């Protein structure tokens, strides 16, 4: 499955994966509002062909594929040490999508 990966500018090391679509903006417009609030502005990082065998740095590709198929997105959270330093990401609405 081809997907697009975005860096979430609101929180370092947070990434959003969505299935590839020709109309990228339409795909982003379909995301849940709560997700938009959590991620803040997005910066496109890359397109990637995902397979169950593909190795990813912090998550299992099969988990990403399952979420893309069932929810239409996968949110890769920052590592625990980064989250522990700044739990305010969950409550800060100053940088909305």
pTM, to two decimals: 0.81
Q: What are the CA-CA distances from residue 33 to residues 2, 82, 88, 92, 93 (Å)?
A: 24, 24, 18, 14, 12
pLDDT per residue as tens, the chain (97 positions): 999 999 999 888 999 999 999 999 998 999 999 999 989 999 999 999 999 999 998 899 999 999 999 999 999 998 777 666 666 555 555 554 3
Q: How high is the pLDDT of residue 74? A: 96
Q: Structure tokens of 6? A: 């975005």
For the chain, domains (ranges, CATH) are 2-90 (3.10.510.20)
- Name the H helices within 4-52: 24-29, 33-39
Q: How high is the pLDDT of residue 43? A: 96
Distance CA 5, CA 83 (A): 20
Q: How high is the pLDDT of residue 20? A: 95
């Amino acid at each position: 499955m081809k997907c697009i990966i975005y860096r979430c500018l609101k929180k370092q090391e947070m990434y959003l994966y969505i299935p590839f679509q020709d109309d990228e903006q339409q795909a982003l417009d379909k995301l849940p509002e709560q997700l938009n609030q959590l991620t803040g502005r997005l910066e496109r990082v890359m397109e990637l062909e995902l397979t169950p065998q593909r190795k990813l740095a912090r998550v299992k590709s099969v988990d990403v594929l399952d979420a893309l198929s069932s929810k239409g997105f996968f949110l890769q959270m920052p590592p625990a040490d980064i989250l522990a330093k700044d739990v305010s990401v969950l409550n800060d609405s100053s940088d909305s999508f």
